[in-house]
Amino acid sequence: MHIAIECPYCRHPLHVKDAKAGRYQPKCSKCARRFALLVPTDEDGQPEVRALPDAAQTMASSARPATDQTMGPAAQTLAAPGDLSAARQLGAKPTRVATEPSERPAAASSATDATLPLAPRASAVAGGAASPAEADATLAGPASPAPSGSAPAAGAAAAETIGGGPHPAAADDLDATLPPAPAAPGTIAGVDATLAGPPVRSPTPRDQTVQGQLEATQAGGPARPAASVSSHGPRSLGDLASGAVLGGYRIMKELGRGAMGAVYLARQLSLDRQVALKVIQAQWASNPTFVARFVREAYAAAQLTHHNVVQIYDLSSAGDTNFFSMEFILGQSLGDVLEQRGKLPPAEAIGYVIQAARGLDFAHRHGMIHRDIKPANLLLSDEGVVKVADLGLVKTPQSLEVEPEAGAPSVGGVSLSEARADVTIANMAMGTPAYMSPEQAENAAGVDHRADIYSLGCTLYALLTGQPPFQGATALEVMTKHKTAPVVRPDAIVQGLPPELSEIVLRMVAKDPAQRYQVLGEVIADLERFLNASPSGPPALGDEHLQRLQHAVTEFQAAPAARLRGLAATAFFGVCAVAAVALVLFNWRLAGGVVGLAVMTAAAYFVLSGIRRDAPLWRRFRELLWNSRLSDWATWVIGGLLFILLLWLLGCLWIWLGAAVVAVGLAWVFHAVVDQRVSRERQGALDGVTDMLRSLRLQGVAEESLRDFVARYSGDGWEEFYEALFGYEAKLAARQQRSEDPNAKRTPRFRGWRDPLAATLESRLQQIRVAREQRHLQKIEQRALQAQGFDAAAAQAQAERLANAWVDQAAAARLDAHQATSEPIDPKVAAAQKRERIKRMLAEARSEAKPPRRSWGRILTLGPVGFALSGKVRFLLGCLLLAGCALWAQQNQLLTGAGERLRSVAADAQSTDIRSLAGGLQSGAEFQATPLRLPLVGQWFTSLAPGVAGAMLVFLAFFRGWKMSLFALPAAAVMLFGPSCGLPSVASLGGPAGSAIVIGLAIAGAGLLFGRQSGE
């Protein structure tokens, strides 16, 4: 059961999950004082919390050092209550222990203090002093006193046996545990619990391993319990319950916990997609300098996208809670593959490592280093794609300028002699010891990309042999072996392993960086050569694959329902057009209703199909709606109400309401019947190609080669098939690549009408994202500067400049990634150039004493002036003018006889009749119209010119930017006030009103040519 309690001393709220009945003595995470907790056996009973006497507090704290000395440093590596992995790693067996109440010290080393036991640990063993192998491993038993007279080693009834019977609530389920000591600023703990030893069996469900975000991954081999950070991570940041909303993300469930915080499976509400949400622990968030550096690194990594790298989506905060969202990979990590299968066949292992190497090579060519490569950080999707996780969350070159040299004797408060070898170290030697390069153990901040090559070589070693190159009980032991011990050849461990493959692995894990591969491109080339594949992979794509692809494309395009869908849509809109033209001469209201039916059916289908199929236009439109400001929503609501008023004035409201009901029904039937049938008929073809691509990926064929193969050999209609396989964005990228190839055949575009709309929406969304990111970066930088002693005003000014600099740097990084070539790039040069560029950028931002002067264009986009020139104002003014014109027409009964006049004009198309109809543009000369009977504004509504001005403003409102208002507002003023202000009359144009309309439209046309811009 889940209970909520308060510390009896400081009233700090604490939470316990899956609490079992018993007595406990946890420690508060805030005041660090122990208290007594009684969990009743009755689920309806209330837990009892009491303060401990001072004597008990003294005993609990003073007993620990003696116990630590008794147990020795090796035994102190026991990491978490209820977990046997550390004890068994030391060779200890579960023992049955009993102690007197006065002899129950809270045995815990500085390492175990980070995951504080829920109750005092029994550490006495028979015979007094305990060797590491005999160290007591009873970590989380109830604090019930032993019966009187029981001997310390007698095994009386009060003794607690590991694994025997139901466990009480473990310490990892309690908020009262102390978090680990923070790492040095700028260092990030990645996935924190990969065993240095053989593969183990993790209790974590498969979906928790997805995304490397479980923070509790193990390497495979003989079954042995693993020290799962997912189970024993700190709980001080507070739990987020399922269904809670955090900054636009709805929490679905917790995936795991680690040194950095908790990871949740969440749904991003703006895009309705699943993401992995990593919430930074409160103790890290309380260090503004660390948070600022962390956000910079993650923000830089988020700008780079690659098939083999997990994408970082968003960095944000809600109150004091900092978090970021990442791509959610449905699959498992290579650590899980090792755990389940042990060593892998050479071809399969090489296929995985080649994909990871491509992702890392992409990062290296953009100046980024991972520093924590291991099987747990390599994720295998269900499509067979390997992705590198936590890139940018560990280290990037720009952080090196501010990091101290690594020389501290301890890691997170735990000496290296005591730290376990299976965890990611987040300070002096950041990384995982089992996969850490020798130079990284000495100075993590000073290593280059070749440290990743070493770690990837250790990963390939583990995949081939079932275990990493070196194992040991502590981090210090393993790191020492990496520096001094020779690596056993893989073919000496696995019989039949090709010697040439062992040579590749040994060169990757050479202790001297100069003796290793110097770039990952060389590793990829040698591994592909071993698999008898060229660098681009064409030999693997033979006639068999071509025939399967072409057969699938033919089956895909020949789906009968697909042709039916196109014919049905064309027939529907054709019938609506014919009906509207036929009805306009008899009942223009019904004609308008038919037009409305066509428009609303398309809109309803757009929403329904977008929700069900995640269509690209709908995805952008939905995100734009979600990120729109309150003023945007107010504008749309007011515009909708004015449109309803207009329909009511025209007498069309009920017709349009009926058309709306019919439109929704038609759209639903079309999607449920036709679209679903198309999907069923085409799914077999897509599944066949997907399986083929998965197999080729696992053979090491590059993703770029696979996509080019599909685009090149799918025929003239390749775009629809390609989009169904890889998505809309990938199709646009492939189209761009083909357009740059002079030998590529020009083919028709699939639904090309979507492209300008998608580009417009994406442009606006990019502006919103950049503005949001800039605000977040400024807030983070300002907090960091204030923590360094800057006053609020100076911190705000400098933070604004720094945020602008980071945003500019991110834009440059995206451009560089887009323009990346296949030419070899020295990672060391790329890192140095990027580091210098960032240093120069930061120096310039920090050297300015005053905020940069804003341009006139910037001023016109801010405050009241910016709002007055915005598209919202144009839209609202246009709706008001249309409504006023409709009121004027209704008042003068111009709409009542419009049908008769249209039929008359159709019957007798003489010029006098046409001029008579055009007289409606004049001030009631022909129709004897009177001005609108409204105070103040009524005098301006004397013709149809205000209605034309309103329609023009509504149209131009869709073009963002203040420049457009400089044309649109004068054009509307000419149409509205021109006739009554002595504007010359031109008979052929219908009088002053006609002249005003022509002049106003000319000004608006100039706005379309010269007033358009990318944003406000």
What single DSSP character describes residue 670?
I
Residue with tokens 């940069």: 852
3-state secondary structure (DSSP) of residue 4: strand
Q: Which of 922, 905, 893, 939 is nearest to 985 (CA)?
A: 922
Measured distance CA(160)–CA(138) in Å, rounded:
7
Please give the structure tokens belonging to residue 892. Answer: 């003068």
331: Cα within 13 Å, side-chain hemisphere: 22
CA distances to 780, 790, 853, 994 from 805, in Å: 14, 19, 15, 52
> 444 with 404: CB under 8 angstroms?
no
Q: Is the dihedral of CA 51, 52, 55, 61 positive or negative?
A: negative
Largest CA distance in the chain: 122
> 186 with 403: CB under 8 angstroms?
yes
Please give the structure tokens belonging to residue 486. Answer: 């020779």
Q: Which residues pair with 954 in a beta bridge?
A: none
Q: In what order do the strands lie in the sheet with 331-333?
A: 331-333, 378-381, 386-388
Q: Write down the number of H helices and E strands in the chain.
A: 36, 16
Residue 927 CB partners (closer than 8 Å, separation 6+): 892, 894, 919, 920
Measured distance CA(449)–CA(989) in Å, rounded:
74
> 177 with 279: CB under 8 angstroms?
no
Measured distance CA(920)–CA(892) in Å, rounded:
11
> 872 with 635: CB under 8 angstroms?
yes
Residue 777, number of CB atoms within 10 A of its CB: 24
Q: What is the helix, strand, coil percentage profile of the chain, to 5?
A: 55, 10, 40
Q: Which of 352, 351, 346, 395 is nearest to 374 (CA)?
A: 352
Provide φ and ψ at 157, rounded to 5°.
-65, -25
Residue 888 CB partners (closer than 8 Å, separation 6+): 929, 931, 932, 941, 942, 946
3-state secondary structure (DSSP) of residue 988: helix
3-state secondary structure (DSSP) of residue 167: coil
Please give the structure tokens belonging to residue 126. Answer: 């028979």
Q: Which of 498, 464, 436, 455 is nearest to 364 (CA)?
A: 455
Triad 497, 501, 507: Cα angle to 5°:
135
Provide φ and ψ at 1014, rounded to 5°.
-70, -25
Strand-strand pairing, 386-388 and 378-381: antiparallel
Q: Which of 249, 463, 453 is nearest to 369 (CA)?
A: 453
Reading phi first (left if > 0) and then psi (alpha if -120 to 50, else beta), residue 526 is in alpha
CA 609 and chain centroid, separation? 24
Provide φ and ψ at 564, rounded to 5°.
-60, -40
Measured distance CA(295)–CA(306) in Å, rounded:
20
Q: Does 68 participate in catalysis according to the annotation?
A: no
Find the catalytic residue in 172, 239, 372, 675.
372
Q: Which of 268, 490, 385 is nearest to 700 (CA)?
A: 385
Residue 825 CB partners (closer than 8 Å, separation 6+): 365
Residue 761 CB partners (closer than 8 Å, separation 6+): 617, 620, 621, 624
Q: Which positions are annotated as active-site residues? A: 372
